[in-house]
């Protein structure tokens, strides 16, 4: 099946809309290394932000993703900034994009109109989003309507790059989730429920809200004129939003949900109890996993290493196509890769953890490799060097490609520290 990628941005605490519209579908579609899920922390830097808050919410979102059912044994769960390829490919795509097409992005125009000065990152972040997708050869991208324009940009950049530099990237396509894909604000049903809303926003239900807060917010939700409970988004957007939430929480359709309640009061009570029933096991699981933040961060580091192995050949192919020299991270095992023992190997670029691990035993201490140090010698009929071992023997290009992949490059040094990755408890 096609590889898929889904990320959440730590711009605020995750909401009911995030769960019903996306995360539940992620948990139901875990297909090993073909399913990549994570926290796109680089996207949280486009506007003024509190660094400590970004870091804390990144950790919280990782825990909530696991609590919601994402399993690192059945998918890849990682943090965007811990995979160097995202930022590296971003620059290559910046050199492919045009200023005019970025300024036509609806979100940029809306946000830049609210202030006299905006960061250039706000203009460029759709290109970073394109890099997120193209880095892994992703074909199916679950998106809401508000992100569809950005996916179209990713498609345009992939097609343009392929036409100019040769067939390099998979051209992605949008996949829209079913019921619950767009949960609206309880106080303003014309606006999407947003995790960026104020912490005390009455129209936003957070995943970690206690039952009393959920009942209070739902009871004060905007409804519409009239008394009949009907699913009619055009004429009754407030009621339609509540029915959408009820349907998504109970596994039915909005029309069926409407037939089971008679009054607005009944509807709100049913919605509140359904939401509480969905969030209670998630909150219980989150309380368990959050007691061991080290395990969550170890999971993220391991996920980043697995993601980097997938990304490395795509990045190397793009670098070579644009005329750059061989990357230190060109091979799957030379940058953020993993050896047979399951240790993360850091080469040309470091995959940093959110906290620095402290060696607990002698075997955990960073030790240099005992393998012979390779030197590089020119290889005929190839722009890549062959790999000459210290013993004087030379590994042929064919043998090298068979061992390391067709886009791999020899590391500058084999004296690479190995950092053990703790398993999830």
Residues annotated as part of the active site: 111, 192, 195
Residues 6+ apart with CB under 8 A from 103: 109, 123
Strand partners, 184: 192
173-175/140-142 β-pairing: parallel
Tokens of 222: 């905007």
- Listed residue (111, 148, 144) closest to 18, CA to CA: 144
CA pseudo-torsion sign 300, 338, 35, 134: positive
Q: How many residues does the chain have?
A: 425
3-state secondary structure 309-362: HHHHHHHHHHHHHCCCCCCCCCCCCCCCEECCCCCEECCCCCCCCCCCCCCCCH
- Pull the structure tokens for residue 97: 């994009």
* CA pseudo-torsion sign 17, 19, 25, 31: positive
Sequence-distant (≥ 6) Cβ neighbours of residue 36 within 8 angstroms: 3, 4, 5, 6, 75, 76, 78, 136, 138, 307, 310
Do residues 93 and 159 make contact, with C-beta atoms less than 8 angstroms apart?
Answer: no
Cα atoms found within 13 Å of the Cα of residue 348, Cβ hemisphere only: 21
**Do residues 11 and 61 lie in contact, with contact meaning Cβ atoms separated by under 8 Å?**
no
């Amino acid at each position: 099946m096609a590889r898929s990628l889904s990320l959440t941005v730590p711009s605020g605490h995750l909401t009911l809309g995030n769960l019903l519209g996306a995360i539940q579908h992620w948990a139901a579609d875990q297909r090993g290394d073909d399913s990549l899920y994570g926290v796109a922390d680089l996207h949280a830097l486009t506007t003024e932000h509190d660094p400590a808050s970004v870091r804390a919410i990144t950790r919280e979102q990782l825990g909530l993703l696991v609590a919601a059912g994402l399993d690192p044994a059945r998918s890849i769960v990682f943090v965007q900034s811990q995979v160097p390829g995202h930022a590296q490919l971003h620059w290559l795509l910046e050199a492919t994009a045009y200023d005019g097409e970025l300024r036509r992005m609806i979100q940029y125009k809306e946000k830049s109109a609210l202030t006299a000065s905006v960061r250039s990152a706000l203009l460029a972040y759709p290109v970073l989003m394109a890099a997120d997708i193209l880095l892994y050869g992703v074909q199916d991208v679950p998106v809401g309507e508000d992100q569809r324009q950005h996916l179209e940009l990713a498609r345009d950049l992939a097609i343009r790059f392929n036409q100019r530099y040769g067939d390099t990237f998979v051209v992605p396509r949008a996949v829209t989730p079913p019921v619950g894909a767009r949960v609206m604000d309880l106080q303003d049903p014309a606006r999407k429920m947003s995790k960026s809303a104020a912490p005390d926003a009455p129209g936003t239900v957070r995943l970690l809200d206690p039952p009393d807060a959920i009942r209070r917010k739902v009871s004060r939700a905007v409804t519409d004129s009239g008394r009949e409970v009907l699913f009619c988004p055009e004429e009754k957007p407030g009621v339609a939003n509540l029915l959408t939430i009820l349907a998504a929480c109970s596994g039915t359709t909005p029309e069926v949900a409407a037939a089971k309640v008679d009054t607005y009061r009944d509807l709100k009570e049913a919605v509140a109890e359904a939401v509480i029933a969905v969030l209670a096991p998630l909150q219980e699981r989150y309380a368990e996993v959050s007691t061991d933040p080290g395990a969550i961060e170890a999971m993220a580091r391991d996920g980043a290493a697995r993601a980097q192995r997938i990304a490395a050949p795509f990045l190397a192919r793009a670098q070579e196509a644009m005329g750059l020299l061989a990357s230190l991270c060109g091979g799957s095992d030379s940058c953020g890769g993993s050896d047979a023992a399951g240790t993360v190997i850091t080469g040309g670029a470091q995959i940093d953890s959110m906290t620095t691990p402290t060696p607990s035993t002698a075997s955990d201490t960073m030790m240099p490799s005992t393998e012979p140090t390779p030197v590089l010698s020119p290889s005929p009929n190839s722009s890549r060097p062959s790999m000459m071992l210290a013993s004087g023997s030379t590994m042929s290009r064919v043998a090298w490609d068979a061992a390391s992949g067709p886009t791999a490059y020899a590391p500058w040094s084999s004296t690479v520290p190995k950092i053990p990755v703790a398993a999830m408890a």
